[in-house]
Amino acid sequence: MNPLSINGVTLVLAIPAAAGALLGLLPGYRLSAQINVLASFGTFVAALSLFIAKPAPGPYILVDDLNIVFIVLNTFVGFTTSVFSASYIGHELESGRLAPAHLRFYHAMYQALLFAMNLALVANNIGLMWVAIEMATLTTVLMVGIYRTRAAIEAAWKYFILGSVGIALALFGTILVYMAARPAVGEGLDGMVWTVLIARVSAFDPALLNVAFVFLLLGYGTKVGLVPLHAWLPDAHAEGPTPISAVLSGLLLNVALYAVLRFKLLLAANPGAIAPGPLMAALGLVSLVFAGFMLYRRRDIKRMFAYSSIEHMGIIVFAFGMGGPLANFAGLLHMTMHSLTKSAIFFTVGHIAQVKGTQKIADIRGLTDSNPALGWSLVLGVLAIAGMPPFGIFMSEFLVVTSTFAREPLLALALVVGLLVAFGALLLRLQGLAFGAPTAGNAPAQASYLPMSGHLALVLMAGIYLPPPLVAWFQHVAGLLG
C-alpha cells in the first residue's frame, strides 16, 4: 500500500477532526476563522492527493473512482465556503445578529460537519456511512439554530424531527440489507462491508433487497430533499447562516445522494431484484415539477433558492434513475455544476441580505443600480442555475433531456415542462431583484467576493470547454454507475 495514499485518506478525515477539536477550545473569532480556512484548504489538498494513489479497500474505508468525485467536490466547496464564512460571520458579529457566546462552537461545528461528510463518502461499511450521515445531520441542526431566534429554533427542530424520521427509515433499510446478506455472507462485519456485499449480492434474497431499497430511498431521499420529503429544507436555508445554506445545497445533499447511488448499484447487481431506476426517476421528476411551481410563491430570497435546490436535486436523481452512460454522465456533470453554482448564489445572497438588512424579495430591488457587483453576480448566478448558455448547467440539462428523448419521449416532455416552469419563475424574480427601482438600505458588506466570482468563473468555463481528462474521468465513473 502506497504511503502517500494512506496519508491522503487519513488526512481527509484527520484534519477536520483535529481542527474541530482545537476550534472548540478557542474563544476568539478571528483566529478561529483563520484556522477554519487553513484546515479546509489542507483537507482539499489531501483529497487531491487521492488522484495520485488510492489505498486498498479495508473493512471500514473505501476510496474508489466513484467516491473521489464526491470527495474532491466536497472538500473544494468546503474550502471556498470557509473563506466566504470568515468575512460573513465577522459581519454578523459586528452587526449584533450573532453574539460571541453563540459563536463559540461555530467553526468547530463547521469542521465536524466536513469530517462527517467526508467519513460518509469514504466509508466501506454501510453502518458507518449511516452513522456519519446522522452525525452530519445533528451538526447541521445545531448550526441552523445558531441565531437563537424563534424562527431559527423552529427550523432547527423541524430539520431534526424530519431528518430523524428519514435517518430511521435509512437505518431500517440498512438492517434489511444485512439480513438479506446474512445467508450468503454469514454473520459479522462482512455483512456490512460494501465491497463484500457487491461481490456476493447476486446470492441475496431479492425480496428483502426490494423492501430495503424502498426504505433507503425514502430515508436518504429525505436528506436529498426529494418531494414529498423536502419540508425541512426551505426552513433550514431561510433561517440558518448563509454559509450553512451553501454547504447544505452544495454538499450535504450530494452526500445523501451518494448513499442512494451505492445502494442502487447493489440492487442492480441482483438479477431478481426490482430495477431501482424507475423509482428514482419518478421521485426526481416529481421533485422537479413540484419545486418549479413552488418557486413562483416564494417571498424570501433564500427560501426561493432552497426550492431551486430541490428542483436540481430532482434533475440529478432523475438522470441517475434513467441510467446509461449519457444520463449518468449528465447527472455527474449536473451535480458538479449545481454545487458550484448554488453555493455561489448563496454567497451572493448572503452579501445582499447584509447590505439590505432583509431576505424579503419585496424589499430587495434594483441591485444592479445600487450594488452593481452584487447585482450582476446575482444575474450571472440565476442565469447559470436557470440553465442558460454558455454556463455548464445548460450543457448538463441538455444532455439529460437528450438522453431522455432518445429513450422515453413522454418523460422527456414532462422534464422539459418542469425545466421551463422553473426557468420562468427564476427570471420573473430576477427582473425585480436586479433591475427594479432600487430600494432603500445600503449597509456596507465587508466580505470577500473571491469565492463567489471563482465559482461562477468555473461554471462559465465548464460551459465553454470541458478538459478532456475531466470528460474521460466522468465517462469512466458514468460507466461504473451502470
Rounded Cα distance between 452 and 352, Å, is: 12
The whole-model pTM stands at: 0.93
Structure confidence at residue 4 as a pLDDT band (50, 70, 90)? very low
- From residue 201, give the alpha-carbon distance in Å to each of 79, 258, 276, 389: 37, 19, 15, 43
CA angle 205, 207, 209 (to 5 degrees): 70
DSSP 288-353: HHHHHHHGGG--BHHHHHHHHHHHHHHHHHHHHHH-SHHHHHHHHHHHHHHHHHHHHHHHHHHHHH
C-alpha grid cell, residue 157? 427542530
Rounded Cα distance between 7 and 385, Å, is: 37
Report yes or no on 97 lying in a domain: no
At a CB cut-off of 8 Å and minimum separation 6, what does 123 contact? Answer: 60, 61, 62, 129, 132
User: For residue 337, which of 464, 229, 434 has the smallest C-alpha distance?
Assistant: 464
Structure confidence at residue 3 as a pLDDT band (50, 70, 90)? very low
C-alpha grid cell, residue 270? 441482483
Report yes or no on 227 lying in a domain: no
Exposure string of 400-425, with b = 16+ CB inside 10 Å and e = fewer, is bbebbeeeeeebbebbeebbebbbeb
C-alpha grid cell, residue 291? 419545486
Q: Quick one: average pLDDT of 112-141?
A: 93
Helix %, strand %, coil % of the chain (to 5):
80, 0, 20
Report yes or no on 154 lying in a domain: no
Report yes or no on 329 lying in a domain: yes
Q: Which 3 state secondary structure label does DSSP give 55?
A: coil
Of 135-149, 378-392, 403-417, the one with minimum mean pLDDT is: 135-149
Domain count, the chain: 1
Structure confidence at residue 233 as a pLDDT band (50, 70, 90)? confident
- From residue 347, give the alpha-carbon distance in Å to each of 132, 355, 439: 26, 13, 21
At a CB cut-off of 8 Å and minimum separation 6, what does 471 contact? Answer: none
DSSP 66-110: HHHHHHHHHHHHHHHHHHHHHHHHHHHHHHTSS-HHHHTTHHHHH
Rounded Cα distance between 4 and 52, Å, is: 8
Q: Are 67 and 122 in contact (CB under 8 A)?
A: yes
Instruction: Specify which residues 123 forms β-bridges with.
Output: 61
Report yes or no on 250 lying in a domain: no
Rounded Cα distance between 80 and 347, Å, is: 10
CA angle 163, 135, 329 (to 5 degrees): 75
- Residue 443 has what pLDDT? 63
Q: Are 415 and 285 in contact (CB under 8 A)?
A: yes
The per-residue pLDDT for range 256-295, each reduced to its tens digit, is 999 999 999 999 899 888 889 999 999 999 999 999 999 9
Report yes or no on 247 lying in a domain: no
The per-residue pLDDT for range 153-195, each reduced to its tens digit, is 888 888 889 888 998 999 999 999 999 999 888 888 888 999 9
Half-sphere exposure of 447 (CA within 13 A, CB side): 29
Report yes or no on 197 lying in a domain: no
Structure confidence at residue 439 as a pLDDT band (50, 70, 90)? confident
- Residue 369 sits in which domain range? 275-482
Sequence length of the chain is 482
Burial of residue 241 (CB within 10 Å: 0-12, 13-18, 19+) is buried
Of 169-173, 375-379, 397-401, the one with minimum mean pLDDT is: 375-379
Report yes or no on 70 lying in a domain: no
**Torsion of the alpha carbons at 253, 254, 255 and 261, rounded to the nearest 10:** 120
Among 125-129, 159-163, 437-441, the range with the most confident prediction by mean pLDDT is 125-129
Burial of residue 289 (CB within 10 Å: 0-12, 13-18, 19+) is buried
